[in-house]
Amino acid sequence: MIGNRVLEINEEHINEDGANAQIWQTLDLDRQFFRIEEDTAGYTIRSCASDKFLEVEGDDLMTAANAQQWEDTNGKDQRWVFQDAGNDWVYVHNLLGYYLDVEGSYESDSDGGNVHTWPFNGDDAQKWRLVRVSGIPMLRIEDGTYSIRSASEDKVLSISKGSHESGAKARLEKADGSSGQVFRVGKNPDIPANNIRLADFSEEDAFWLDASGADEEAAVKQLPGDGNQSQNWYFEEAGDGSYYIRKMYGYYLDASAVTDTKSVWCATFTGSKTQKWSLESV
C-alpha cells in the first residue's frame, strides 16, 4: 500500500506475462494481493491472481524499467529487498539496486498510477506499507439486524446512548437491547464487503460505522454515509461462530484498549479474543 492506494496487476491482462503493475483504490480483490516469500537471494513478490512474479520489463540494467508480472526466471529483477523507511513504511528495491516507485507526478489519491523502478530518492512515491491479510476467506454477511458481541468481554458494540450525532464513538457496553446496540449490516453490491449502521436510522439519513485513515489506532465512530472505503468492513471466520471484522486498510476491529474515555479502535491482526466478534440476530 502506498498512500491510500495499493499495488495491483492490471485487470485486463491479469493472466498474461507482461501485465502492468499500477496503483489503485483498495478493492480487496486477488489482483491486489501478493505472496511474499524468502529465498536464498532475497524475496519474491507473487500475484495471488496469476501466480506470476513482480519484475521489471526489458533490459535489467535500465534505470526507469517498468514494473510488470512474469513467470519465474530466477532473475535479479525478480528478487526484492525490503528496507525500513520509518513509521511502518518500507522501501522496496530489487537486486539491481532500483526502487519501486510511482511514476511521474505522485498523486496518492489517483487510480492507475504507473509503477516502475528508479534510483533511490526517499520520496513518498517510493514508500510502501505491507498490510497483512490473514488468508481467511472473506464472507458476505446476510443483510439483517444484529447486536455485535465482543469475545473478550460480555459486552456488545454500542454507539453511546444511541446517539444520532456525526462522530459519536463506538464503545463496549453491557447488553440492554437499547437502540445504540442494534446495527443494520448490509452488503456492498460492488465488493465483498458490508456496511454497518444503527438500525433505527433510515437508510437515507444513516450514519455508517467508520474508521477513517490508513493508520493503525483509528478510532471507530459513526459518520455520514459517503461511499468512503473506510466504511467498508470485511468479515472473516475466526472459529466458534465468531468473526474478525477488518477495515479496508488491513486493520481489525479491536476492543483491547477500550476505557471509559477511549472507543473501540482498529489494530494490526493478532487473532486474540479482543478482535473476535459474534453476530446475534435481533
Q: Are residues 55 and 174 in the same domain?
A: no
Domain stops at, among 88, 104, 126? 126
Q: Are residues 156 and 208 in the same domain?
A: yes
Question: What percent of the chain has pLDDT above 90?
Answer: 45
Q: Are residues 162 and 93 in the same domain?
A: no
pLDDT at residue 270 tops 60: yes
Q: Which domain holds residue 94?
A: 5-126
* Each residue's pLDDT tens digit, 43-66: 999 998 888 999 998 755 667 789
**Would you say residue 248 lies in a domain?**
yes
**Would you say residue 86 lies in a domain?**
yes
Domain stops at, among 95, 126, 157? 126
**Would you say residue 133 lies in a domain?**
no
CATH number at residue 36: 2.80.10.50
**Would you say residue 234 lies in a domain?**
yes
Q: Are residues 266 and 196 in the same domain?
A: yes
The number of distinct structural domains making up the chain is 2
* Each residue's pLDDT tens digit, 135-175: 555 677 888 999 999 999 889 999 987 888 899 999 999 99
Q: The pTM is what?
A: 0.60
Planar angle of CA 92, 95, 97, nearest 5 degrees:
70
